[in-house]
C-alpha cells in the first residue's frame, strides 16, 4: 500500500483541456507546459475572496453604523470642561 497521491484520479483532464485549449486558445504544447495552478490562474480561479458587493456592504453598514456622537469635543484635543 502506498501513501502517494495519484493526481490523475483527482483532476478532470478533459475539462481542463477544453478550458485551456478551447476557452483560452492555448496550443497543446502551451497547455501541457502549465501547472494546474497556473491554468487555474489563467482561468481566473485564484481562490481569492470575491470583491465586496452591495449585500456585503449593507451587512457591514448594519454591523458598524456611522454615528455622530454629541459631546463637548470640538476636535481640538483640549478639555473644554476645565474652564
Instruction: Give buried/exposed letters for 32-51 (b at 16+ CB in 10 A, else e).
Output: eebeeeebeeeeeeeeeeee
Residue 78 banded pLDDT, cuts 50, 70, 90: low
Total of domains in the chain: 1
For residue 30, what are the domain limits?
Answer: 1-46
pLDDT average, residue stretch 30-38: 92
Q: Decide if 59 is inside a domain.
A: no
For 37-58, the pLDDT digits (tens) are 898 889 887 777 778 899 999 9
Quick check: 57 and 48 in contact, CB under 8 A? no
Q: How large a percentage of the chain has pLDDT more than 70? A: 69
Q: Decide if 60 is inside a domain.
A: no
Q: Which of 45, 42, 47 lies closest to 21, judged by CA?
A: 42
Q: Can you tell me which residue has the cell 458598524?
A: 64
Q: Decide if 7 is inside a domain.
A: yes
Q: Decide if 8 is inside a domain.
A: yes
Q: Decide if 30 is inside a domain.
A: yes
Amino acid at each position: 500500500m502506498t501513501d502517494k497521491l495519484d493526481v490523475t484520479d483527482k483532476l478532470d483532464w478533459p475539462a481542463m483541456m477544453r478550458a485551456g485549449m478551447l476557452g483560452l486558445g492555448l496550443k497543446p504544447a502551451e497547455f501541457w507546459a502549465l501547472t494546474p495552478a497556473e491554468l487555474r490562474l489563467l482561468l481566473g480561479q485564484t481562490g481569492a475572496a470575491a470583491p465586496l458587493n452591495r449585500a456585503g456592504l449593507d451587512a457591514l453598514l448594519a454591523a458598524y453604523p456611522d454615528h455622530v456622537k454629541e459631546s463637548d469635543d470640538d476636535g481640538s484635543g483640549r478639555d473644554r470642561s476645565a474652564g
